[in-house]
Structure 1
Amino acid sequence: MELRSRTTTRRAFLGTSLGLAAAAVAVSPAPAVAEGRRRIPRGGIGMHLYTMRGPLAVDFHGTLERLAEIGYATVGVSGRHGNGAADIRRILDATGLRAVLEHVSYDILRGPGLAQALADLHTLGAKWPVVPSLPGSLHTPAGFREVAREFNRIGQASREAGLGRLLFHNHGADHATVDGEVLYDILVRETDPELVGFELDVYWAAKGDADPARYFVRHPRRFPALHVKDMAPDGSIADVGSGVLDFAAMFRHAHVGGVRQWLVEHDSPADPFATARNSYGYLAALRY
């Protein structure tokens, strides 16, 4: 089996035209406010709560209150810190935030825990179950085809339960080329668009040398949610707006891709609340 990781690059994402005929590579940090007429709806700027796991473990309610004060409208749930789904819903309602999705392990969703996971999503008031990652043993073309079949089945169960499509959250390894095939593309091609969508993590896509704008145009409506995080010049994760990714170019065709939620994430923030403030301020001011 031939395995070739796609070249990790510090280039910003390619600004793709609707015809995909040309692309311009940006290599410098994006401006604080880009020129353009579109803006991210305030109701579409959310926080993926993995970013805030430290503060949440100490004060779940207080952390969500502070996110609401910053301006966030929505959250992606990732880890409950001892709270049940009903407890989290009460806190969300009290703080004026809304859960839009929850990360649930692949093993739970493909097993007997599926029904409870979907019921919990209803309790949270969320729409989408999300597979956050896949076991390394499945990172082959045959493995991803098996996953595509499972995703269709889980997505069907989600729709029958009155929820949205199953979503998949990518990491860098998901964009590897194995035996001549891009693994991520297998999932995009071999899942039913009515049952399966994608929560595209734009940082990990960049690590895999993938271009979100191309995906948005080539696969309309498949990407209802994004994980938005920036890349520092050394390739590490940075607060949104402080790194080298050209978000204005990236989001130019987000509406074609069906993006409805821009969820901020940072895997290891030095100060989670500073990251939350900085990233929200950038996204609220962005024009593209």
Structure 2
Amino acid sequence: MRSPMGTMPTNGARRAFLGAALGAVAAVGIGAAPAAAAGRRGCRRIPPSGIGMHLYTMRTPLAADFAGTLEQLAEIGYATVGVSGRHGNSPAAIRRMLDRNRLKAVLEHVGYDIVTGSGLPRALEDVHTLGGRWIVVPSLPGSLHSPDGYREVARQFNRAGLAARESGLKLLYHNHGGDHEVVDGHSLYDILLDETDPELVGFELDLYWAAKGGSSDPGELFLRHRDRFPALHVKDMAPNGDFADVGSGILDFPAMFDTARQGGVKQWLVEHDAPADPFASARASYRYLSRLRY
């Protein structure tokens, strides 16, 4: 999802993450490199059951025909979805549509104010109805964008994470570019990683925003914080820094996925924040991930 706080970092900050993966940094900003990491291939692949679509990508066709959109995603080959907006449908109605198409909802995005407030029990019940495993906070209020604010977020996440665990689910947080900023000498994302209980709180890592934020290499995060990243948003970056269909941009996904097992990754959810043609984007992204070897 698009972040109001996402900003382009300096060339030096970007090189810390993108240098090895993307090659030389262009003078205008983000370096250009072929999508499949110069043809590098391995023997591992993403399991078909792990390739999903985050439904924010499909919000326009979903608003017109929710059931038909899910049917087309299943026909493309997607096995799972992340729910982000119900478009007037109840959780039970969405579950019936998913079941008809042999799709599984693995998570739902739920606002910070709901997760940290009195609406949490109902939200957990809704995720269970959808058939999900994770309840995901998609972003944070701008008023919390400081080290002290993020420490308060960590405390709130630990509390909500305990309630989620008691209900049989797990709480995750989805990052945007601003989460990777260093403020007053403190990495905001590191505060969340270090001050939340790994047993209670995990992360849905958006690879595009981690790259654009410039301070977090997913492969290294997977090693430093093992088993904390059960779900990814696989979103690609065009040479000019815009969104791109997965596999058509400059992010080195094979390098990122090389340590995915250590990170505990179980779901690779495609996302494109502003696709010109959502179904064409869904087809191209699925084709790339289903054929990828790393």
Amino acid at match of 1:282: Y
Deviations along 1:180-219, one digit per CA (max 9) or x if unpaired, are: 0110010000000000000000000001112101100110
The two structures have a TM-score, normalised by structure 1, of 0.92
Task: Work out whether 1:233 is the aligned partner of 2:239.
Answer: yes
Of residues 5-14 and 231-240 in structure 1, the stretch that sits farther from structure 2 once superposed is: 5-14
Residue ranges of structure 1 left out of the alignment (5+ in a row): 16-22
Provide the C-alpha distance between the structure 2 equivalents of 1:55 and 1:211, rounded to a whole number of angstroms. 33
Task: Work out whether 1:7 is the aligned partner of 2:10.
Answer: yes
Provide the C-alpha distance between the structure 1 equivalents of 2:240 and 2:18, rounded to a whole number of angstroms. 19
Partner in structure 2 of residue 103 of structure 1:
109
Please, which of 199, 202, 208 is the counterpart of residue 203 of structure 1? 208
Contact kept? 1:6, 1:175, Cα under 8 Å: no
Provide the C-alpha distance between the structure 2 equivalents of 1:10 and 1:237, rounded to a whole number of angstroms. 16
Amino acid at match of 2:78: Y
Please, which of 148, 153, 162 is the counterpart of residue 147 of structure 1? 153
Segments of 4+ moved more than 3 angstroms: 8-15, 23-27
Task: Work out whether 1:252 is the aligned partner of 2:258.
Answer: yes
User: Once the 2 structures are TM-superposed, how far is the Cα of residue 6 of structure 1 from its aligned partner?
Assistant: 4.2
* 1:274–1:134 distance in 2 versus 1, CA, 3 Å: same
Deviations along 1:224-257, one digit per CA (max 9) or x if unpaired, are: 0000010000000000000000100110000000
Contact kept? 1:7, 1:208, Cα under 8 Å: no
Provide the C-alpha distance between the structure 2 equivalents of 1:169 and 1:5, rounded to a whole number of angstroms. 19
Contact kept? 2:82, 2:106, Cα under 8 Å: yes
Task: Work out whether 1:194 is the aligned partner of 2:199.
Answer: yes
Please, which of 181, 184, 191 is the counterpart of residue 189 of structure 2? 184
Residue ranges of structure 2 left out of the alignment (5+ in a row): 1-6, 24-31
The two structures have a TM-score, normalised by structure 2, of 0.91
SS in 2 for 1:197: strand
Amino acid at match of 2:173: F
Task: Work out whether 1:112 is the aligned partner of 2:118.
Answer: yes
Amino acid at match of 2:61: P
Provide the C-alpha distance between the structure 2 equivalents of 1:90 and 1:31, rounded to a whole number of angstroms. 37
Provide the C-alpha distance between the structure 2 equivalents of 1:7 and 1:104, rounded to a whole number of angstroms. 32
Contact kept? 1:10, 1:244, Cα under 8 Å: no
Contact kept? 1:203, 1:228, Cα under 8 Å: yes
Contact kept? 2:210, 2:217, Cα under 8 Å: yes
Amino acid at match of 1:41: P
Provide the C-alpha distance between the structure 2 equivalents of 1:13 and 1:31, rounded to a whole number of angstroms. 17
Provide the C-alpha distance between the structure 2 equivalents of 1:174 and 1:99, rounded to a whole number of angstroms. 26
* 1:244–1:24 distance in 2 versus 1, CA, 3 Å: closer
SS in 1 for 2:81: strand
User: Once the 2 structures are TM-superposed, how far is the Cα of residue 122 of structure 1 from its aligned partner?
Assistant: 0.7
Contact kept? 1:213, 1:254, Cα under 8 Å: yes
Amino acid at match of 1:194: E
Please, which of 147, 164, 170 is the counterpart of residue 158 of structure 1? 164
Would you say how many aligned residue pairs link Structure 1 and Structure 2? 277
User: Once the 2 structures are TM-superposed, how far is the Cα of residue 162 of structure 1 from its aligned partner?
Assistant: 1.4
Contact kept? 1:12, 1:25, Cα under 8 Å: no
SS in 2 for 1:129: strand
Q: How does 1:29-48 map to 2 (within 5 A)?
A: 29-31=34-36, 34-48=40-54
Provide the C-alpha distance between the structure 2 equivalents of 1:11 and 1:205, rounded to a whole number of angstroms. 13
Partner in structure 1 of residue 141 of structure 2:
135
User: Once the 2 structures are TM-superposed, how far is the Cα of residue 30 of structure 1 from its aligned partner?
Assistant: 2.0
Provide the C-alpha distance between the structure 2 equivalents of 1:58 and 1:258, rounded to a whole number of angstroms. 36
Provide the C-alpha distance between the structure 2 equivalents of 1:208 and 1:185, rounded to a whole number of angstroms. 13
Partner in structure 1 of residue 272 of structure 2:
266
Amino acid at match of 1:185: D
CA RMSD in angstroms comes to: 1.8
Aligned identity (percent) is 71
Provide the C-alpha distance between the structure 1 equivalents of 2:226 and 2:168, rounded to a whole number of angstroms. 22
